[in-house]
Amino acid sequence: MIVLMQPGTNGVHVAEVERQVATDGYEAHVWHGSRTIVAVVGHSSRPLLPETYANLPGVEKVTPVKVPYTLASRQFHAEDTQIKLNGAAMGGEKVLVIAGPCSVEGREAIIEAAHAVKEAGATALRGGAFKPRSSPYSFQGHGELGLQWLAEAREQTGLPIVTEVMDPNLVGLVCQYADVLQIGARNMQNFTLLNAVGEARKPVLLKRGMSSTVEDLLMAAEYILAKGNHEVMLCERGIRTFETSTRNTFDANAIPVLKHLSHLPVVADPSHAVGKSEYVEAIARAAVAAGADGLIVEVHPDPANAMSDGRQSLDPAAFARMVESVRRIAQAVGRSA
Amino acid sequence: MIVLMQPGTNGVHVAEVERQVATDGYEAHVWHGSRTIVAVVGHSSRPLLPETYANLPGVEKVTPVKVPYTLASRQFHAEDTQIKLNGAAMGGEKVLVIAGPCSVEGREAIIEAAHAVKEAGATALRGGAFKPRSSPYSFQGHGELGLQWLAEAREQTGLPIVTEVMDPNLVGLVCQYADVLQIGARNMQNFTLLNAVGEARKPVLLKRGMSSTVEDLLMAAEYILAKGNHEVMLCERGIRTFETSTRNTFDANAIPVLKHLSHLPVVADPSHAVGKSEYVEAIARAAVAAGADGLIVEVHPDPANAMSDGRQSLDPAAFARMVESVRRIAQAVGRSA
Amino acid sequence: MIVLMQPGTNGVHVAEVERQVATDGYEAHVWHGSRTIVAVVGHSSRPLLPETYANLPGVEKVTPVKVPYTLASRQFHAEDTQIKLNGAAMGGEKVLVIAGPCSVEGREAIIEAAHAVKEAGATALRGGAFKPRSSPYSFQGHGELGLQWLAEAREQTGLPIVTEVMDPNLVGLVCQYADVLQIGARNMQNFTLLNAVGEARKPVLLKRGMSSTVEDLLMAAEYILAKGNHEVMLCERGIRTFETSTRNTFDANAIPVLKHLSHLPVVADPSHAVGKSEYVEAIARAAVAAGADGLIVEVHPDPANAMSDGRQSLDPAAFARMVESVRRIAQAVGRSA
Amino acid sequence: MIVLMQPGTNGVHVAEVERQVATDGYEAHVWHGSRTIVAVVGHSSRPLLPETYANLPGVEKVTPVKVPYTLASRQFHAEDTQIKLNGAAMGGEKVLVIAGPCSVEGREAIIEAAHAVKEAGATALRGGAFKPRSSPYSFQGHGELGLQWLAEAREQTGLPIVTEVMDPNLVGLVCQYADVLQIGARNMQNFTLLNAVGEARKPVLLKRGMSSTVEDLLMAAEYILAKGNHEVMLCERGIRTFETSTRNTFDANAIPVLKHLSHLPVVADPSHAVGKSEYVEAIARAAVAAGADGLIVEVHPDPANAMSDGRQSLDPAAFARMVESVRRIAQAVGRSA
C-alpha cells in the first residue's frame, strides 16, 4: 500500500502515519522525492484498511500496489533512483561502465587491469576475490588477499571496487574493501545472503538468476530494500535457454521492462550474456540502445591466459573500442558515456 | 566443399568444375564475387575427393566446410548479400524498415496504413492475407482478396509488399502479388514449403522458429538456397523461454552471431519479440545497435481495434518516433536509416 | 458452446439444433455417446445466444466451453475416444505399442524389422518413407517406393502401418498405403497440412511440437477435428529445454494433463524424448505409469548402421525386454499390454 | 583420478597412496566396497602423474575420470549408495516415501500430519521450519519452534525428519533436530551452504535447481562429498520451461540418467514437479517406473487452508491411494514400497 502525503506535508503528519503502521503490525518506508510517500509493507495478523490511512491528517491518497514488490516499484518512486559511483551516478544521465577481470589473479595483474580499464574510460573496477565455481576443485579466488589487492588498485587509480560476496558471514569483511557488493546469479534467491546485504550500507549489484523471471529479480531486490538498503542495481546477464551458439541468451526485453516497472538502475553484463568476446561489443551497444544505465564487462590484459572466463574477456584494446562505440550509442539515445 | 577459382578464371574452367561435380553426383552453386567460388553440395554414393578438384585447371584451392550449411555460410560468400528492395538494398548501408498491420483487414485500412508507414519512413509494406492462427475458428485472413488490396496499396504508395505464404500450392499465386515472400515462424521447418519458395524467384523473409537454434535457422535457409533462390533474409523474432513478462524473448545475441556465420541479411521483428507496443521502440533500437540490417514492425492505424496483434502494434505516430530514434542509432553504428 | 440433448432425444430435435447453428453461421459437430451432444464451433458475424438454443425442443442444457478447443475437450466427450488399430483400440484397456525403424531403408530391411517387432509384441509398424531432415543434403526417404515396401511388410505380418506425411499434396498418396498418418513435430502448426489430414478419413498421430505447449497441441488437434476427422492420437515426444544430457526433455506431466483435458488417446515416444537407447525402456515405463495409452518406439535390426536415429534405436532384443517390462507396468495400472 | 587397489589390499598400501596424494597436494577419498578404491581430487600446482601411482605397491590400476564429478560418479562407486532411513535404506530395494506439509504450521498440525502420513505408509516426515519465499513479506516459517514441533512429531510417530536449511550459520541448529538436511532448489549452487552441510554428519537431500542441468546437480553433490559427507540424495523436482499448464516440467529423463552416471540415490518430488494435486499420483508412479529410489510428497490434512503450496498438496486419503498405486509400480519393477 502506498500513502501519498499532501504537498508540503510536515514531519508530524508523516510520524503519525508511521505510528499507525506500527500499530497495525506493518513496516513503513518513507520516500522524500518531489512528494513524500510512505510505503506500507510486511505481514501482520491485523488487516490493512486503506480508509484508516486516508483519514489521517496530511494524507492525500492511499493506493494499493498491484505488484508484489512495493519498494522496488515505480509506484513507490516515480523518479529514477541514482546511485553515486565515482563522481557520477548509476541511473543518471551518463552510462557508466564497470570493467575488469573475472577473478583477481594477483597483485600486479589487478593493478595493471585497473590502469588499463581506467584509461579506456571505465568508471569502476570489477574483480572477484571470492569465486562461485561449479566445481569444488576449481580455483575459488584469493579471498581477503584479493580484496586487499583490489583496494590497492583503487588507491592507484581512484576506481571504486565492485566485487562479489557469497557468504553472509563475510559481508562485513567485503564491506571493508568494496564500494559495491555484487550478488551473483546463482545466489539471486539466496535469501539469507539478500538479508545480510540488506543490512549493509553499501550499494548492491544484483545479478539476475539464470532462470529467474523479471518479477523474481524484482522480488529479490525487494528483500534488500525491505531491510533498509535502498541502493540496488539490477543486472541483466543472460538467461538459460535451448540456444547453444552462445553461453546464455541476453534478454534485451528485460531492460525496458525493468525500467518501466522499477525505479532502480539497470546494468547489463554483455560478457556473461553472450560468452564469446567477438560478440560482446554488439551486445554492449544493444543494451545501451535498449535503455541500460550501465555495463559491467570482463576485461583481461591477456584473455588467452586468464584463470577463468578468458573466452568472453576483452583485451584492453578491444575494450577501448567498445567504450568508443557505446559512447556513440549513448549519445544517440540522449545520454553520455 | 568450397572450390576457389584462380583470379581471372574463365568460364571454361568453371564449366569443367561443374562437369566434375555432375559426374560425382553432386550439385554445383557458382558465386561470382570478388573471386569466383563453386560450392559443391548434395549427397551421392560417390565420395567427394578434394584432390580431384584441386588438380582441375583454374582451381586455386579446395576447402572443406566446417558447418552443415554451405551456401548460407560466410565461407561461400565473404561479402554481405544485398537484396534489392524499393531502390535500396537489405544488407546494404541503409537500415530498411518494413512496416504495416498484422493482417490486411480491408481495402481502405491497408491503403491508409500504407500511406502512414510510408510517410514515417518505411521502405516496404507488410500485411498478412493468409494468417496462421492457433485456432481453426479465428479469422484466417482475406486470402487472394487481401493480396489484391495489398497490390492496390503498392500502386498508390510505391511500397513493395512483404506477405506470408503458408501453402506450397499457393506460392505461385502469392508471387503474382508479393515482392517478398514471408515464411512464418511456425513453418520454418516446413520443408515442403521451403522447397516451394526455393523454386520461386522472389526474395524470401525467413522467420526463425520459436524454439529453433541459430543453426536450425541457417539450415532452413540452406533449403531455399539449395533450390537456387539466393535471396533469403533471416529474421530474428524472439524465442520461447520461461519468461512471461513479454510475449517472447528477443535473442539479441543471434544478430551478431548470424552476421558472423552467414552472408545473408538479418532483419529483426521487435513487435513479436516483445509483444507489447510500449517496448517495441527500445527493442528496435537494440536490434540495429547489435547489427541488424532491417526491421519489420507491426503498425496499425488504430491498434485498440486491430483484428489481431493489436497489443503489440504501434500507431503511426509512435512508429514515426521509432523510425526517428532508430535513425540516430543507425548513424551511431555508421549506417543510415 | 456445448448443447446437451435430453436422454432419448430423437433425430428431429438434433436436426433442429443443426439448422439453428447453420442459420447463425456456425458449424455443428454431433457426438452420440451415452448422451447426444452438439458442439457449436466456428466464427460468424452473428452472436451465439445460449438462450436461443436452450429453448429448442429436446435440449437439456447449454454450456459455454472454457477452453479454446471445443472438439478436443473432455466437455464435448466425457468418455475416452478409442481408435481401432489391428483388432485393438488406442485409448482402450490395452496399451498399444507401435514400433519400427526411423526410416524405411530398403525392402528386406523393413520386412525384417516388421517381423522382429511383431514377434516382440508390437501392434503396429512405424517407418518413414518421407523424412523431414534438418539438412537439404541428408537422405530424404525413399518416397512412394518406401510406402510400397511398408505395404508389403503389412501383407506379410498383418501389422498396420504408421507413416509420416509432410506435404499436403501427398496426403492422398500416403492414404493409399498407410493405416495411420503421422504429423511430425516440426509440422504441428503447419495448418495447411492439418487441414489436409482433417479432410482425410484415416487416423492421425499428431506429434507435439518441440516448443509447443499442451494447449498448442490441443489447438492443432482441433484443426483436424474441425474438418471432420475425429480420429486423432496426441503424441508427447519430448520438448526443447536447456538440458543437454538428453536429446529432448520428456514432459511426463503432459500425459495426465492431456488425459484430463481431452478425450483423445495419448501416445508417448520415448525414443525421441530421450535420444539415447539405454534410457528408452525407463521412459517407456514412466509413460505408461503416467497414463499413456500407447507407445511409439524406434527399433532397428542393427542400430549402429541405421541411416538415421541409430543412437536412439533399440535392437529387437532390447525392444522385447522393453515390451515385457512395459507389460508389467500396464498391469500395475490396471491395464494390459 | 581413480586408483583401484588389488583385491585383499591392506591398510599399509592404502596409506602409502594417501601419503603420495598429500605430497602432490591433492586430497584422497577412500572407498571400501567390493574392492578398495582411492579417488584423488582437488587442485594443486603439482601435476598428477598416473604412473607414479600405478607403481605403488598394492595398486592394480589407475584410471582418469572422464566427468568433472569424481566422488559422485559411478566410476568411484560401482554399487548404489544406500542411506539409512528409519530401518530401511534410500537407494536400497524398497522405494521410500517422505511425506508431510510444505511448512510446519503449528504443533498440533504437524503431529496430526505425521500420524496421517505414517498410517498411509510414509517412511519419513517432511516439513519446513525455515521457508525460502519469493517475497520478504510472506510467512518465513516458525524457525526453531518449528524444529521442536517436528521433533515432537518424530517422538510420537517414530518418523525421521527431513527439513530444509537455508543459512550456513544454522546448519548446527538444524542438525540438532533433523535426520536429513534438505537443500532447496534455489540454493543448489549456494556453495557456502553446500560446504557447510558437507561438514555436517547428517544425510542431505539435494534438490535440483530449477534451471540446473543434470551435470550441475552432480557438481553440487560433489561439493558436499568433497567435504567428507558421503550421504547425499539427489532430488528431481521439475525444471523451468516454457510450458504453463503445470508449475514446472518433471524431467523424467533425469532419473535414469542420474542412476547411470552416479551411485547416489535419486528421489523424485512429484508435488513441485507438477504443482497441481490432481496430477501428483500419476507423476509419482512415473518416477518410480523410471527408477527413482524414493519420493518426497506434500501432504496436508486440509490442503484448501494450507499456509503454502496447498494447490499441490494431497490430503491424507489421496496420499494413501498414491502410496498404494506406487507400491504396485514398485513391484512391477522388482522392488517393494
Residues from chain B that touch D242, judged by Cβ atoms under 8 A, are 211, 240-242
- H helices of A142-301, in order, are 144-157, 171-177, 191-199, 214-226, 254-261, 270-274, 277-290
Cβ <8 Å between D168 and A169: yes
pLDDT tens digits for D158-207?
999 999 999 999 999 999 999 999 999 999 999 999 999 999 999 999 99
In this prediction, residue D208 carries a pLDDT of 98
pLDDT confidence band for C308 (50 / 70 / 90): confident
CB distance D216 to D188 below 8 Å: yes
For C132, which of B134, B191, B210 is closest by C-beta distance? B191
Say yes or no to pLDDT of A226 above 90.
yes
Kindly identify which residue of chain B lies nearest to residue C211, measuring between CA atoms.
Answer: B211
One-letter amino acid at B193 equals L
Cβ <8 Å between D242 and C213: yes
The answer to whether residue C140 sits within a structural domain is yes
A144 grid coordinates: 581477503
Residue range C172-179: average pLDDT?
98
Q: Percentage of chain D surpassing pLDDT 70?
A: 100
Residues from chain D that touch C269, judged by Cβ atoms under 8 A, are none
Residues from chain D that touch A186, judged by Cβ atoms under 8 A, are 189-191
C-alpha distances in Å from residue A57, one per residue of A6, A325, B7: 9, 53, 88
The answer to whether residue D78 sits within a structural domain is no
Cβ <8 Å between C192 and B68: no
Residues from chain A that touch B246, judged by Cβ atoms under 8 A, are 253, 257
The answer to whether residue B78 sits within a structural domain is no
In this prediction, residue A34 carries a pLDDT of 83
For A211, which of D43, D137, D240 is closest by C-beta distance? D240
In this prediction, residue B243 carries a pLDDT of 97
The answer to whether residue B77 sits within a structural domain is no
Tell me the residues of C at the B interface, defined by beta carbons under 8 Å apart.
41-43, 68-69, 132-139, 166-169, 186-187, 189-193, 209-211, 216, 219, 222-223, 226-227, 240
pLDDT tens digits for A290-313?
999 999 999 999 999 998 888 999
CB atoms within 10 A of CB C136: 25
Cβ <8 Å between B240 and D244: no
Residues from chain B that touch C137, judged by Cβ atoms under 8 A, are 41-43, 226
D171 and D279 fall within a common domain? yes
Cβ <8 Å between B213 and A328: no
A52 and A91 fall within a common domain? no
One-letter amino acid at B248 equals N
In this prediction, residue C10 carries a pLDDT of 85
Query: D247, exposed or middle or buried, with CB in 10 Å at 0-12, 13-18, 19+?
Result: buried
CATH number of B56's domain: 3.30.70.1140
Per-residue pLDDT of chain B (337 residues; tens, 9 = 90+): 999 999 988 889 999 999 999 999 999 999 988 889 999 999 898 999 999 999 999 999 999 998 999 999 999 999 999 999 999 999 999 999 999 999 999 999 999 999 999 999 999 999 999 999 999 999 899 999 999 999 999 999 999 999 999 999 999 999 999 999 999 999 999 999 999 999 999 999 999 999 999 999 999 999 999 999 999 999 999 999 999 999 999 999 999 999 999 999 999 999 999 999 999 999 999 999 999 999 999 999 999 999 888 899 999 999 999 999 999 999 999 999 9
Q: Percentage of chain A surpassing pLDDT 70?
A: 100
Cβ <8 Å between A243 and B331: no
In this prediction, residue B20 carries a pLDDT of 96
Min Cα separation C311/chain D (Å): 15
Domain that holds residue D26: 2-63
For A249, which of B249, B273, B274 is closest by C-beta distance? B249
Q: What is the mean pLDDT of chain A?
A: 96
Q: Provide the whole-model pTM.
A: 0.96
Instruction: Tell me the Cα Rg of chain A.
Output: 21
Cβ <8 Å between B222 and C136: yes
In this prediction, residue D281 carries a pLDDT of 98
Distance in angstroms (rounded) separating the CA atoms of residues D272 and D276: 8
Chains that touch C (3 or more CB pairs under 8 A): A, B, D
Please report the DSSP string for A131-144 in residue order. Answer: ---SSTTS----TH
Cβ <8 Å between B241 and D244: no
Say yes or no to pLDDT of A33 above 90.
no
Instruction: Tell me the Cα Rg of chain C.
Output: 21
B227 and B155 fall within a common domain? yes
The β-bridge relationship of strands C2-5 and C59-63 is antiparallel
Residues from chain C that touch B307, judged by Cβ atoms under 8 A, are none
Say yes or no to pLDDT of C309 above 90.
no
In this prediction, residue C8 carries a pLDDT of 85
In this prediction, residue D8 carries a pLDDT of 85
pLDDT confidence band for D331 (50 / 70 / 90): very high
B104 and B51 fall within a common domain? no
Cβ <8 Å between C246 and D255: no
For D282, which of C243, C246, C290 is closest by C-beta distance? C290
Residues from chain B that touch D241, judged by Cβ atoms under 8 A, are 242
Distance in angstroms (rounded) separating the CA atoms of residues C34 and C331: 28
Q: List the one residue out of C132, C173, C127, C122 whose CA is nearest residue C146.
A: C127
CATH number of A292's domain: 3.20.20.70
Q: What is the mean pLDDT of chain B?
A: 96
pLDDT confidence band for D33 (50 / 70 / 90): confident
The answer to whether residue A55 sits within a structural domain is yes
pLDDT tens digits for C218-275?
999 999 999 999 999 999 999 999 999 999 999 999 999 999 999 999 999 999 999 9
D28 and D127 fall within a common domain? no
Cβ <8 Å between C283 and D256: yes
A46 and A109 fall within a common domain? no
Distance in angstroms (rounded) separating the CA atoms of residues C337 and C96: 6
C-alpha distances in Å from residue D291, one per residue of B107, B198, C116, C238, D264: 62, 48, 27, 19, 13
A101 and A24 fall within a common domain? no
The β-bridge relationship of strands D294-298 and D96-100 is parallel
pLDDT tens digits for D272-302?
999 999 999 999 999 999 999 999 999 999 9
B57 and B93 fall within a common domain? no
Q: What is the mean pLDDT of chain C?
A: 96
Kindly identify which residue of chain C lies nearest to residue A211, measuring between CA atoms.
Answer: C242
Selected for mutation to probe chain C from B24, B167, B170 (highest C CB count within 10 Å) is B167
Kindly identify which residue of chain A lies nearest to residue C240, measuring between CA atoms.
Answer: A242
Min Cα separation D40/chain C (Å): 25
Q: Calculate the dihedral angle through the C-alpha atoms of C256, C257, C263, C266, rounding to the nearest 10 degrees.
A: -60
Return the HEC string of D120-167.
CCCCEEECECCCCCCCCCCCCCCCHHHHHHHHHHHHHHCCCEEEECCC
CB distance D181 to A155 below 8 Å: no
For B213, which of A245, A279, A329 is closest by C-beta distance? A245
Number of A–B residue contacts, CB under 8 Å: 138
Min Cα separation B326/chain D (Å): 31
Chains that touch B (3 or more CB pairs under 8 A): A, C, D
Residues from chain C that touch D242, judged by Cβ atoms under 8 A, are 211, 213, 239
Q: Domain tally for chain C? A: 2
Selected for mutation to probe chain C from B26, B43, B186, B242 (highest C CB count within 10 Å) is B186
Lowest mean pLDDT across A186-195, A205-214, B214-223, D26-35: D26-35
C50 and C185 fall within a common domain? no
Distance in angstroms (rounded) separating the CA atoms of residues D311 and D11: 55
Kindly identify which residue of chain A lies nearest to residue B256, measuring between CA atoms.
Answer: A279
**Side-by-side strand order, sheet with D27-32:** D27-32, D36-41, D2-5, D59-63
For C42, which of B134, B137, B193 is closest by C-beta distance? B137
Cβ <8 Å between B249 and A243: no
The answer to whether residue C114 sits within a structural domain is yes
Distance in angstroms (rounded) separating the CA atoms of residues C174 and D254: 37
Residues A64, A70, A71, A74, CA torsion sign: negative
pLDDT tens digits for A129-149?
999 999 999 989 999 999 999
Min Cα separation B192/chain A (Å): 25
The interface predicted TM-score of the complex, written ipTM, equals 0.95
Selected for mutation to probe chain B from C137, C210, C247 (highest B CB count within 10 Å) is C137
Min Cα separation C298/chain B (Å): 22
Tell me the helices (H) and strands (E) count for chain A, helix number first: 11, 14
Min Cα separation B258/chain D (Å): 24
CB distance C138 to C156 below 8 Å: no
Cβ <8 Å between C244 and A244: yes
For B240, which of D211, D240, D242 is closest by C-beta distance? D242
- H helices of chain D, in order, are 11-24, 50-54, 107-119, 144-157, 171-177, 191-199, 214-226, 254-261, 270-274, 277-290, 316-332
Beta-bridge partner residues of C96: C294
Selected for mutation to probe chain B from C191, C214, C222 (highest B CB count within 10 Å) is C191
Say yes or no to pLDDT of D122 above 90.
yes
pLDDT tens digits for A154-169?
999 999 999 999 999 9
Instruction: Tell me the Cα Rg of chain D.
Output: 21
C60 grid coordinates: 437439456
The answer to whether residue A269 sits within a structural domain is yes
| Residue for grid cell 581413480 | D2
Contacts with A148 (C-beta within 8 Å, 6 or more apart), sequence order: A177
Beta-strand (E) ranges in C138-209?
161-164, 180-183, 204-207
Kindly identify which residue of chain B lies nearest to residue D249, measuring between CA atoms.
Answer: B242
Residue range A183-202: average pLDDT?
97
C-alpha distances in Å from residue D126, one per residue of A8, A327, B85, D154, D295: 54, 55, 65, 11, 11
B32 and B112 fall within a common domain? no
A92 and A172 fall within a common domain? yes
| Residue for grid cell 525392402 | C107
Query: A35, exposed or middle or buried, with CB in 10 Å at 0-12, 13-18, 19+?
Result: middle
Kindly identify which residue of chain A lies nearest to residue B237, measuring between CA atoms.
Answer: A253
The answer to whether residue B263 sits within a structural domain is yes
In this prediction, residue C34 carries a pLDDT of 83
B89 and B156 fall within a common domain? yes
Min Cα separation D132/chain A (Å): 7
Tell me the residues of B at the D interface, defined by beta carbons under 8 Å apart.
211, 240-242, 244
